[in-house]
Structure 1
Amino acid sequence: MNPFRSVGETLDSFNNVNVYYNGAVNNVEKRNVTKDGYNLGLQYQCVEFVKRYYYEYLQHKMPDSYGHAKDFFNPNIKDGKRNTQRNLIQYTNGSMSKPKVNDIVVFQASWYNSFGHVAIVMEVTQNTVTIIQQNAGPFSNTRVSYDLIQENNRWKISNSKIVGWLRKE
């Protein structure tokens, strides 16, 4: 735990949707559910921020409101096709479609994080993608930039853990 932060403390925001401190990445306070009964996820987790952002800022409810971060990306869906569980268009990391602001970036599970990770794209330039994230770790930054590479008419975010991104049309 970070002794300089408190669980639930506002760390950052994007489009008036707050990013909160969660302490240890596996800390669970409670489930966050909207007034109309829509499940946003476990409070202060990365999924909860992404779903809360899509719900509050983009007025989007995902048909499947459950699952871990890694479950947001379906490897059986072709690049540029609809992910019906999320009702979003899915792109592989190495897509003909360049990431855009408000896209959800999906990180695969790893030995130290079996649940994966999700974040929101907040800025895209010709050479970089900047994400905003919740619950990346007690000392991690809420904003991180990655190199964006274009090769053979395909766009790739240079992080081997990123499997792709999802977009509301």
Structure 2
Amino acid sequence: MGIIKKVSVILLVLLLGAGGFYIYSRTGLHPTKTAGQEIDQFNGVAVYYNGEVGNVKGRNLAPDGYNLGLKYQCVEFVKRYYFEHLNHKMPNSYGHAKDFFDSRLANGKNNVDRNLIQYTNGSSTKPRVNDLLIFKATEFNSYGHVAIISAVSDNEIDIIQQNPGVLASSRENFKLKKHRGKWRIQNNQVLGWLRKE
């Protein structure tokens, strides 16, 4: 077999493997978890398994009718966390994860749709626990993603999240770096963070 055929076979195997993993990770097939099952919690607020990333189990409303979001998407967790743990209602209770970040705002200004202070990744203000972390849309996820910062040190942050994918963890860690007075989370998908003052 010539070198071109060998390389072609290797590339085909890699492509099929990657494609198979991508499909598996979005099918909701998990040997031990079912959609709606509690898999984690932070400050007494549950994180639920969603199965397939696009899976929706209806809309979750607070007892007073406030829209918490679609079960069990990432937005539903962070809004429920802010409502239950921080007693915060967002003026605009709708929108995808990427919509939580207003790119027109200057760093440190009030995001009126969320009634939270917004910081751009690369801010002089360091992230802190309970901040919302917003990720931009990608080719594979046009809605973006949002999580809660659960721990912060001088060189890393931890997050807790709902609906990160079938095989992904509800917890994740990112490097944090201060350079020339600016704090940057070392992930190119991070737009910034929102904070209740």
For normalisation by structure 2, the TM-score amounts to 0.85
Q: CA deviation at 1:4?
A: 1.7
Quote the residue 1:118 is aligned against: 146
1:1-27 deviation line (CA, Å, top 9, x unaligned)? 212211111110000000000000100
Quote the residue 1:74 is aligned against: 102
1:33-88 deviation line (CA, Å, top 9, x unaligned)? 01101000001100000000000000000000000000000000000000000000
SS of the residue 1:50 aligns to? helix
SS of the residue 2:76 aligns to? helix
Q: CA deviation at 1:129?
A: 0.4
Quote the residue 2:33 is aligned against: 5
Structure 1, gaps ≥5 residues long: none
Task: State the AA in 1 paired with 2:125.
Answer: S
Q: Which runs of 4+ in 1 moved over 3 A?
A: none
CA distance in 1: counterparts of 2:90 and 2:189, whole angstroms: 23
2:82 to 50, 54, 60: 54
- Structure 1 window deviating more from structure 2 (42-51 vs 1-10): it is 1-10
CA distance in 1: counterparts of 2:56 and 2:133, whole angstroms: 22
Quote the residue 1:34 is aligned against: 62
CA distance in 1: counterparts of 2:112 and 2:124, whole angstroms: 20
CA RMSD after TM alignment: 0.4
Greater relative contact order (Cα < 8 A, sep 6+):
1
Quote the residue 2:19 is aligned against: none
Q: Figure out how many residues of one structure are paired with residues of the other and give that number.
A: 169
Which protein is bigger by CA-based radius of gyration? 2
Q: CA deviation at 1:152?
A: 0.7
Quote the residue 1:63 is aligned against: 91
Task: State the AA in 2 paired with 1:134.
Answer: Q
1:64-117 deviation line (CA, Å, top 9, x unaligned)? 000000000000000000000000000000000000000000000001000000
Q: Is structure 2 residue 46 aligned with structure 1 residue 21?
A: no
CA distance in 1: counterparts of 2:69 and 2:48, whole angstroms: 14
Quote the residue 2:13 is aligned against: none
Structure 2, gaps ≥5 residues long: 1-27
CA distance in 2: counterparts of 1:11 and 1:139, whole angstroms: 13
CA distance in 2: counterparts of 1:162 and 1:25, whole angstroms: 19
Q: Is structure 2 residue 195 aligned with structure 1 residue 167?
A: yes
CA distance in 1: counterparts of 2:167 and 2:38, whole angstroms: 14
Quote the residue 2:123 is aligned against: 95
Task: State the AA in 2 paired with 1:141.
Answer: S
